Amino acid sequence: MNSVKGSSRDGPVLVTGGAGYIGTHIGAALMKAGHRIVILDNFSNSTPLAVDRLNSLGLGCAELVEGDVHDEALLDRVFSADRFSGVIHLAGVKAVGESVAEPIRYYDINVGGALSLVAAMVRHQISRLIFSSTATVYGDPAKLPVAEDASLQPEHPYGRSKLMIEQMLQDVAAAQPWMRIMSLRYFNPVGAHPSGRIGEDPKGIPNNLFPYIAQTAVGVRDEVRVFGDDWPTPDGTGIRDYLHVMDVAEGHVAALTHLIDGGGKSGRNLAVNLGSGHGTSVLEVIRAFREATGREIPYRILGRRPGDVAAYWADPTYAERLFGWTAKLSMAEICRDHWNWQSANPDGYK
């Protein structure tokens, strides 16, 4: 058995924030790969119904612990109950605009929550941690595609909270060289599980393009708001690197396997991009969604949003070199699966 301190190779994986959008898909991919999972979530931005749906996919049964990552006594109970093979830390808050208005809440939940979790991992000698970071740590990149060694200049409290966590984890990795820590910097995860049973269910008005387009296509919203058509891009709209959420999920399985197999240089928090390597403009996404669904997607051009950047997409080659992962699913498959979920669940999990 390959075990490092308190971690086993075969124990369950703790997925914090596992009832959320990306967490449910990671749960599906982990169970499909044969892992047992325990989900810890306080349902501040999700519902237990999402875990019921995950458990109805026939892939296994996720154990659910309702609670907060700040709760040290709860973490002690969870980690005492089993020898975990690793932790995937997704729990947190993620809305850029909200983070500008409520920075204290953002630093408390994101940085405070991660600190509480990693402290508990050290107490219980759980060695493997994969942290959900974000491409917004790069800010407005000077060079495209964006590689991991690009300068880190996040432009808002959300991005800064993620960078602070990465730096904190680097310090912990240096002090605890038996730990294996990786920060995955996601570009723009979109789409849904091909079953149409789990998907993104934002509360209120979506902040992100895809759920907005899908809700417009299904008639919940009147039109898509396009923020700026005067960016220095070919069609004037912003360009992002969209990748299928199942590709993101498979990236976590591959990263965890890498850590379990002894990868993850001790003393380092490895930062790795998860992106497709391709940029797609807002108007191109709207067109792809229309083609995949046959639905009209009315849209209206508005002014630029403060803090937005013109274009970025990933250099994803490090993930391929390190643990053999590349994004495989196309924009057409993304639109098909997102639509499959949205049309079967116009009101989300409700």
Catalytic residue list: 158
Q: Is 44 among the residues that bind ligand NAD (CB under 6 A)? A: yes
Task: Look at residues 342, 197, 341, 163 and name the one whose alpha carbon lies nearest to residue 269.
Answer: 163
Q: Is 90 among the residues that bind ligand NAD (CB under 6 A)? A: yes
Q: Is 166 among the residues that bind ligand NAD (CB under 6 A)? A: no
Q: Please state, as a whole number, how many other Cβ atoms lie within 10 Å of the Cβ of residue 110.
A: 23
- Smallest distance, ligand NAD to C-beta of residue 72, A: 12
SS (H, E, C) 57-70: CCCCCCEEEECCCC
- Smallest distance, ligand NAD to C-beta of residue 78, A: 12
Taking CB under 6 A as the binding criterion, the range among 80-88, 143-151, 184-192, 289-297 that sits at the site for ligand NAD is 184-192
Specify whether the CB–CB gap between 231 and 310 falls below 8 A. Answer: yes
Taking the least distance from each CB to ligand NAD, the nearer of 91 and 181 is 91
- Tokens 């639509």 correspond to what residue? 339
Among 15, 51, 64, 91, binds ligand NAD (CB under 6 A): 91
Specify whether the CB–CB gap between 62 and 27 falls below 8 A. Answer: yes
Q: Is 37 among the residues that bind ligand NAD (CB under 6 A)? A: no
Among 13, 27, 35, 42, binds ligand NAD (CB under 6 A): 42
- Smallest distance, ligand NAD to C-beta of residue 21, A: 4
Give the span between the Cα atoms of 50 and 197, in whole angstroms: 9
Among 4, 13, 22, 78, binds ligand NAD (CB under 6 A): 22
Bond into 145 cis (ω within 30)? yes
Taking CB under 6 A as the binding criterion, the range among 35-43, 139-147, 231-239, 290-298 that sits at the site for ligand NAD is 35-43
Taking the least distance from each CB to ligand NAD, the nearer of 45 and 345 is 45
Task: Give the three-state DSSP class for 277.
Answer: coil
Taking the least distance from each CB to ligand NAD, the nearer of 4 and 215 is 215
- Smallest distance, ligand NAD to C-beta of residue 335, A: 16
Work out the angle at residue 15's Cα, subtended by the Cα atoms of residues 156 and 109, and round it to the nearest 5 degrees: 35
Q: Is 189 among the residues that bind ligand NAD (CB under 6 A)? A: yes
Q: Is 20 among the residues that bind ligand NAD (CB under 6 A)? A: yes
The one-letter amino acid at 193: H
Q: What is the DSSP letter of 42?
A: -
Residue with the shortest CB distance to ligand NAD: 20
Q: What values do phi and psi take at 297, rounded to 5?
A: -125, 90
Q: Please state, as a whole number, how many other Cβ atoms lie within 10 Å of the Cβ of residue 57.
A: 16
Q: What is the DSSP letter of 107?
A: I
Q: Is 109 among the residues that bind ligand NAD (CB under 6 A)? A: yes
- DSSP per-residue codes, 133-172: EEGGGG-S-SSSSBPTTS-----SHHHHHHHHHHHHHHHH
- Smallest distance, ligand NAD to C-beta of residue 178, A: 25
Q: Is 43 among the residues that bind ligand NAD (CB under 6 A)? A: yes
**Contacts to ligand NAD by CB under 6 A:** 16-17, 19-23, 41-46, 68-70, 90-92, 94, 109, 113, 132, 134, 186, 188-189
